[in-house]
Structures are given as C-alpha cells and as structure tokens.
C-alpha cells in the first residue's frame, strides 16, 4: 500500500447517510464517506456487501433511498449534470455499443461531455496508444475480446479527464499486462493529475498496492476504515496482510449468516436450512 497523502483539502466526494432499500431488503445502510482529492480510495467487502450499489449511487446510476452525495460541491441530486461532468465511471462488465468502432465510441463520449473537438482528437490519439488499441480503431467493438472492451471502457472514462474516477472491479477481464498497466496508471493519475480514484475490488493485492485509504463494507455498512496500518491495528492482525485483515473484519458467525440470509431473501427457514 502506498503512503497516504496528507488530507489538507476538503473532500472531493462526500457521502452522508447513504441508504438503498429494495422492498424489505436494505442493500446499503447509512454509509458515510469522504474521498479526499488526489487519492486512491478502495472499497472492499464480501459478495453482496453493498459495494456495487454504493458505487452505482455515487455515479448516478441508481437513486438512493435517502442520504446525500456531493461531488466537488455539487449535490448529485440537484446538480446532476455538473456533478457528472467531473466523474468518469468504469463498470465491472464492459457493455458498450457493439456496432460502433472504437474511434466512434470515443468520439461519442467526447460529444456527451461537450468536449472541444481538438481536445477530443488529442485525447483519442493519446488513449488509443496508451491502451494499445490504435490498430483496432476502425474495428467494430463486437469483434473485441472482453479485455479489449474493458481497455476501451477505461479509455472512454478517462477521455474527458474527470477529477473523479469511479471503478467497479477494475481487474475483471484484464490480462496480467493489463493489470500492470492499470495499477501503474492509477498511481500516475493520482500523483501527476491529482485525480481521485474510488474503486471497489475483490482483488486485495490491488487494494494493497494502490490504495491510500480503504473502507470495508459488510451488510451495507462500513465496518472499518483507514490506511492498511490502521486496519491492521483495528483487526488485531498487526503482522498480517490485507487478506488476513479482511477475513478477520468480515468474519460472520453462523447466527449472523442466518440473519443475513433472512434479511435478504425473507424468513423462509425451510429453505435456509441448507
């Protein structure tokens, strides 16, 4: 894990009291977050903890049941467009318009963000090179592999040079070379361009290597937050790696597990027994 940056400026993202309810099920239950500028901020948690829902609420893909999200001072509910102008999002699965070419896709993104055409042209040139997609710029996206699509989505999200990059599972579909590229890129973006990166991941090695701060979510709530050192202290795993810390902090008793299943799927003891 890299050295945490001093938090002197006001946070770029402020999330307070964020809740998301689906019927009787509470996916996210009162999350508070402050993402400082110029940091990689990791969100970790077991399956179904509420990470993706939180990320999607921060990018405006899902409406929260309650709570507020402000991005660079813009309230996501009231100043939606302004907040989104400075945000880029990379989902875990790269669904993009398959009948467009890579060049057309990036140009489309430039249009959505009202970028200057000259700037769009420069960025396309730069990003196609960075993500090694130059020779495929005229190919339809439908002919791309999963990893190529993921790289294109990265390029699209970075095209308007957002101040905040939200990434849900950045490593899905990328080969080892892609892993390396992305990890190096995260640090570069943060250190050279003062971008803030909010990423959720299962890949603890990535979190360990690139995140300045981490929060761990379980059952829709934050159960721990801080740097790796702080988390080690909190979990009592002072000499352990992030994996040990994570397992300790998210450990469930049998009773907690049953409660969790009942909370999510309704109280059907016969079906839970298995």
Footprint of other proteins (CB under 8 A) = 23, 59-63, 80-82, 84-85, 87, 89, 91, 93, 95-97, 99-101, 103-104, 107-118, 120-122, 124-125, 128, 134, 137-138, 140, 142-143, 156
Supply the minimum distance, in Å, between the C-beta of residue 237 and other proteins: 36
Residues 6+ apart with CB under 8 A from 112: none
The nearer residue to other proteins, 125 or 256, going by C-beta atoms, is 125
The nearer residue to other proteins, 89 or 154, going by C-beta atoms, is 89
The nearer residue to other proteins, 39 or 59, going by C-beta atoms, is 59
Supply the minimum distance, in Å, between the C-beta of residue 171 and other proteins: 19
d(CA 189, CA 197): 9
The nearer residue to other proteins, 81 or 273, going by C-beta atoms, is 81
DSSP 147-194: HHHHHHHHHHHHTT--SEEEEESTTTT--HHHHHHHHHHHHHHHHHH-
The nearer residue to other proteins, 153 or 182, going by C-beta atoms, is 153
Please report, in angstroms and rounded to a whole number, the separation of the first and last CA atoms in the chain.
Answer: 39
What SS3 class is residue 143? Answer: helix
d(CA 14, CA 72): 8
The nearer residue to other proteins, 105 or 246, going by C-beta atoms, is 105
Supply the minimum distance, in Å, between the C-beta of residue 134 and other proteins: 6
Supply the minimum distance, in Å, between the C-beta of residue 118 and other proteins: 5
Supply the minimum distance, in Å, between the C-beta of residue 80 and other proteins: 7
Rg of the chain, C-alpha, whole Å: 19
d(CA 123, CA 117): 10
107 token code pair: 């140009």
The nearer residue to other proteins, 124 or 224, going by C-beta atoms, is 124
Nearest to 200 by CA among 220, 184, 222, 215: 215
Supply the minimum distance, in Å, between the C-beta of residue 232 and other proteins: 35
**CA distances in angstroms from 86 to 151, 165, 236, 247, listed in the order given:** 20, 9, 39, 35
The nearer residue to other proteins, 1 or 94, going by C-beta atoms, is 94
Supply the minimum distance, in Å, between the C-beta of residue 263 and other proteins: 17
For residues 269 and 243, the answer to whether their CB atoms sit within 8 Å is no
Supply the minimum distance, in Å, between the C-beta of residue 258 and other proteins: 22
Q: What is the dihedral of CA 46, 202, 84, 3, to 10 degrees?
A: 110
Residues in the chain: 274
């Amino acid at each position: 894990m890299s050295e945490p940056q001093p938090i002197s400026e006001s946070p770029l993202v402020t999330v307070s009291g964020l809740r998301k309810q689906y019927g009787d099920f509470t996916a996210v239950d009162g999350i508070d977050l402050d993402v400082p500028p110029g940091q990689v901020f990791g969100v970790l948690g077991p399956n179904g903890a509420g990470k993706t829902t939180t990320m999607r609420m921060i990018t405006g893909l899902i409406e929260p049941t309650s709570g507020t999200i402000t991005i660079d001072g813009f309230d996501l509910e009231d100043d939606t467009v302004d907040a989104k102008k400075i945000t880029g999002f990379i989902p875990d699965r790269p669904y993009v318009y398959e009948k467009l070419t890579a060049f057309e896709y990036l140009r489309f993104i430039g249009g959505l963000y009202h970028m200057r055409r000259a700037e769009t042209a420069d960025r396309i040139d730069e990003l196609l090179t960075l993500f090694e997609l130059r020779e495929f710029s005229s190919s339809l996206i439908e002919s791309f592999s999963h990893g190529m699509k993921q790289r294109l989505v990265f390029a699209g999200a970075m095209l308007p040079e957002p101040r905040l990059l939200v990434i849900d599972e950045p490593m899905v579909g990328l080969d080892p070379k892609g892993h390396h590229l992305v990890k190096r890129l995260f640090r570069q973006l943060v250190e050279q361009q003062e971008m803030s990166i909010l990423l959720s991941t299962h890949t603890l090695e990535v979190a360990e290597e690139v995140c300045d701060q981490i929060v761990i979510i379980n059952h829709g709530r934050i159960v721990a937050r801080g740097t790796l050192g702080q988390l080690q202290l909190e979990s009592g795993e002072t000499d352990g790696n992030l994996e040990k810390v994570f397992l300790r902090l998210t450990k469930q008793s049998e009773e907690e597990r049953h409660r969790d299943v009942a909370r999510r799927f309704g109280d059907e003891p016969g079906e839970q027994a298995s």
